[in-house]
Chain A
């Protein structure tokens, strides 16, 4: 068996499942020889192409004003820079809209949060959120970030006293009420927004490239690059 034989003819119309099945079969047969990483990569390229062909997104849940706010917020939380685009470019508003369309509890958190934000910004600047300056928008997020940190400190002190239910996978516990001032509702919303925006950005191909994750590969041998070993050797505080 050759080392890089093709297991599928690109463009032959096979589904990803068919290809995976063939891929695994080829691997199983190969057994004692090197299987083809090229073939495996081909399967995954097809999956990407399927996705890219889906076109522009039509919001399922948020109204246009809310959706525009989400887009702006995504740009503020993860902005574009020289290395990569913004969370808006990476599809964060789509991701949030989709999940809110499937979960009323989450949707309430967002609609309530967006209303609160609009109102607070208007109160402070005389303009609704989208018409405020970038600096004003950032100032408001800065206040919410500081408040979120304050609340988090209270919560982590409190956490050890709380009996969690019969699971260790309680996930996010911050919908429990905590002592909070004027900014409390906004801070809670901000934490959710940041979490989901960060998730959407870094799970996207753009985010993966931004942090430089190199895995999810098919390797016939695992090697740690000499430069990585050398780096640790040089920088280690030990000896």
Chain B
């Protein structure tokens, strides 16, 4: 006999990342009673976040017990990061189809990946919502920039995003916190970009530089990836969910792994069945409305696993699009060594984590490119905190030992720069996820099998990135590190940039999309999907801010529909 929660909630939300956090915060503010299911444990920032620790404060210095990090088995992004998950989770596998390369990053903790993410917060441009009109590839969104703009405003004002007003079409201005000033090496990069005609502007990151809603401004330790105990960097857990808990309208079920959506004979959602990991028992929770925010692929998995005679292909999947149109961001990075920076007076370059400048896409009107969509450039450099792997650049350049090695490391510290391109992928038929008919996880839930292949559009874009980054490095007087022959290294592995989206896309036609323009399932009015699954395209803007804005917009719509009695 299944254990059933005695209470029927107004809304049950599955997943506590950017989409789920925004949803419960926006709904509880309006007095809607919510339950939140998270597949990982609750978050305690004081035990989870290793902010400000020096490597020498742990005996393994960050190499992890037995030097796991040296063998590629350490925590992704390093010991001090607060990832709480990784490319593989014990007991919760996924598979990859033959001939494909794909990797899937999952965080199992309250707040999900927002506890450690890069906080890059870029609005989509107006043209990003109608890509098909521009070049005949992919599909248009059912909404326009004007539809989402008020929610970008609200999200930026609430989350806190730095930036400056620039009037660049590819990077619409927003409601900004003051950005921190450029660092010295970034001024040199900007000079090179000015020379090359590439805009290089203050970075837009979800970090506050002035007090906001009781959150302290950034203290410039540069360690956002470790989690932020002062809540100066945005995370869904601290900025959305903890305040939502204070309303008394939110109940959190942690270590709750959703298995299947429950529906009645009318095809309406009645609840969800989940595994309580703490007791390894299956339970049910009932609701008036269900909101999926489990991440693009996990939400697709739940829908595909929820089969019945009424929904033989899975709930909300009459169109067959669930799992299709899987996209990641095109990634390519290049390092350079810049002798111009040798002898620069030492100073604290930590800043607000990440670079203080970035380069938005600048060739959106260029008709001569051999690839259709754009990319932006993120940059790195400066005097980083010495950690495991420190000096590897110098060792690889000169080898050596003794006084010469010591002197070279001193001389070259802070002279390395890095450029990372983040580009738009065109959805294609070879990129999708489906249920693997032969594999289940430790809870008996069928797992996803991924298929992924970049097309020439992405490869050519990555080569353009490579040429551009080399030009910037050379203009700075630097040399490019690593050879030009790049084989598999010439583009990121699918999923590696952790921007996977598109698997439950929205659209105006129920035959070619799963959701309507308000993230509501075409076939099931009391079911919403508010994570990156809803994306129709994956512009070169990191997806989180748009997930925040769309989830907020969906929550407002949902609350109104509930008030009217439509759902």
Contact = CB atoms under 8 A, between A and B. Distances in A.
Contact of A205 (B56, B400, B496): B56
Contact of A167 (B60, B69, B103, B401): B103
Interface in A184-215: 194-196, 198-200, 202-205, 207-208, 210-215
Interface stretch (B252-260, B404-412, B437-445, B455-463): B404-412
B43 to A, nearest CB: 13
Contact of A99 (B60, B229, B496): B60
Contact of B71 (A77, A161, A172, A235): A172
Interface string B55-85: 1110111110111111111101000000000
A208 B220 CA distance: 18
Contact of B409 (A30, A32, A202): A202
Interface stretch (B271-279, B367-375, B485-493, B512-520): B485-493
Contacts of A217: 219-221, 348, 350
Given A35-B216, A99-B66, A238-B475, A169 B72 contact: yes
Contacts of A235: 340, 343
Interface of B: prevailing SS: loop
Contacts of A164: 488
B401 A76 contact: yes
Interface stretch (A4-12, A64-72, A112-120, A223-231): A223-231
Interface stretch (B30-38, B106-114, B382-390, B416-424): B382-390
B413 A211 contact: yes
A113 to B, nearest CB: 14
A20 interface: yes
B63 A224 contact: no
Contacts of B191: 236, 238-239
B65 A225 contact: no
B167 interface: no
B385 A216 contact: yes
Given A214-B383, A224-B181, A238-B475, A98 B60 contact: yes
B168 interface: no
A89 interface: no
Contacts of B181: 222-224
A124 interface: no
Contact of A216 (B52, B184, B341): B52
Interface of A: 17, 20-21, 23-24, 27-28, 30-33, 35, 37, 40, 44, 47-48, 51, 76-79, 81, 91, 95, 98-99, 102-103, 105-106, 138, 141, 145-146, 148-149, 152, 156, 159-161, 163-164, 166-172, 194-196, 198-200, 202-205, 207-208, 210-220, 222-225, 227-229, 231-233, 235-239
B65 A102 contact: yes
B496 A214 contact: no
A222 B180 contact: yes
B59 A98 contact: yes
A163 B488 contact: yes
Contacts of B383: 211-215
Given A31-B211, A199-B389, A223-B181, A149 B413 contact: no
List of 8 A-B pairs having minimum Cβ-Cβ separation, nearest first? A171-B72, A103-B66, A160-B487, A102-B66, A215-B350, A203-B55, A212-B346, A228-B184
Contacts of B221: 215-218
* Residue with the highest number of chain A CB atoms closer than 10 Å, among B60, B187, B386, B400: B386
A236 B399 CA distance: 28
Nearest to A75: B402
A171 B63 contact: no
A221 to B, nearest CB: 8
Contacts of A166: 87, 96, 101-103, 493
Contacts, number: 263
A214 B347 contact: yes
Contact of B486 (A106, A160, A237): A160
Contacts of B341: 232
Contacts of A105: 71
B61 A31 contact: no
B403 interface: yes
Given A24-B45, A237-B476, A31 B214 contact: yes
Contacts of B211: 31-33
Contacts of B413: 211-212
Nearest to B62: A203
B467 interface: no
Contacts of A195: 70, 392, 395
B182 interface: yes
Interface residues of B, number: 103
Contact of B352 (A27, A167, A169, A222): A222
A30 to B, nearest CB: 6
Interface centre among A28, A47, A203, A208 (most CB of B within 10 A): A203
Contact of A138 (B88, B350, B402): B402
B395 A171 contact: no
Interface string B140-183: 00000000000000000000000000000000000000001111
9 contacts: A33-B211, A40-B52, A103-B67, A146-B399, A171-B70, A199-B63, A199-B390, A219-B220, A224-B183
Nearest to A84: B406
Given A76-B402, A207-B390, A239-B195, 17 more contacts: A31-B216, A145-B399, A149-B399, A156-B483, A159-B489, A194-B395, A195-B392, A198-B409, A202-B386, A213-B386, A215-B221, A217-B221, A218-B221, A228-B345, A228-B347, A229-B184, A231-B343
Contacts of B359: none
B289 interface: no
A169 B406 contact: no
A198 B349 CA distance: 22
A172 B386 CA distance: 18
A207 to B, nearest CB: 6
B401 A20 contact: no
B54 interface: yes
Interface in B474-508: 475-477, 483, 485-489, 492-493, 496
B265 interface: no
A28 B385 contact: no
A109 to B, nearest CB: 10
